Amino acid sequence: MFAIYNNGTVGFRSTSDNLYDLKNIEQIEPIRFSPKEGFIHDYTEDQERKKQEFINSYRKMAEIDTLEPVYKIKDIMTEDVFHASINTTVEDIYYFINDKRVSSIPITDFGKKIVGIIDKKVILNLIMKHIDDIESTLKKTMNDIYIPEVLTADPEADVRKVVQVMLDLRLDAVPIVDDNDILVGIVSKTDILKAVANLPKLQLWS
C-alpha cells in the first residue's frame, strides 16, 4: 500500500492492483512549496516534472512481477526514526543531519501523524542563500520551509516496488506509515544497501 499526503491529508491511497487506474494520482493538487518569506527559489516547474515522473513510476510498478517471494519494507526499514515538528528550528535540523548523516526527516504532529518532510538539499540551499544572515536563518522553523506533499509506503509494501519508486523519483528516503497514518519507520538508500549486503536472498528485481 502506498499513500500520498499533503499537509497531513491523504490524497491517494492504493495497492499495486489499483495502479492501472491512475485517475486519482493525476488529479492530486500541485505541490505548494512556497516558504513564507520567499527565501528559497520557486520549485513549481521542478514539481510539475516530478509529478509526471511520479505517474510514470507508478505505471512501471504495476508491471512488476510479484510471483517471486520478496521481502517487505518492514524487514529492512529503520524503526527508530528521527522526526521533527513544524516548530523545530533550521539549526536543530542542520546539526542533526550532519551528526546522523541522514538525508530526509519526516515532519509530524504530536501524535506522530505525518504532515510533510524536509531534506538536506532544502536546508543547505537555504543556509547558503542567506549565509550573510546566518543567525536569523538558523532560527527559522520547519513551518516556514517544510515540503507538505510526501510519498509514503506501509510496512507491508514490496521492497522491489519501493526501490523502483525511489529510483524513478530520485528519492533519498520514503517514510513508512501504518493504517492510522502514524509514522512507524523510514527506508533510505542506506537501508537498502545494508539489506543487499546482509540478506543474500533479497531480490530487488523480478
- pLDDT tens digits, 77-114: 999 999 999 999 999 999 998 888 888 999 999 889 99
User: What is the mean predicted confidence (pLDDT) over 188-206?
Assistant: 77
The amino acid sitting at 68 is: E
Alpha-carbon distance 68 to 119, whole Å? 34
Q: How many CA atoms lie within 13 A of 201 on its CB side?
A: 6
Alpha-carbon distance 13 to 58, whole Å? 12
CATH hierarchy code of domain 2-16+71-198: 3.10.580.10
Stretch among 30-44, 64-78, 123-137 having the lowest mean pLDDT: 30-44
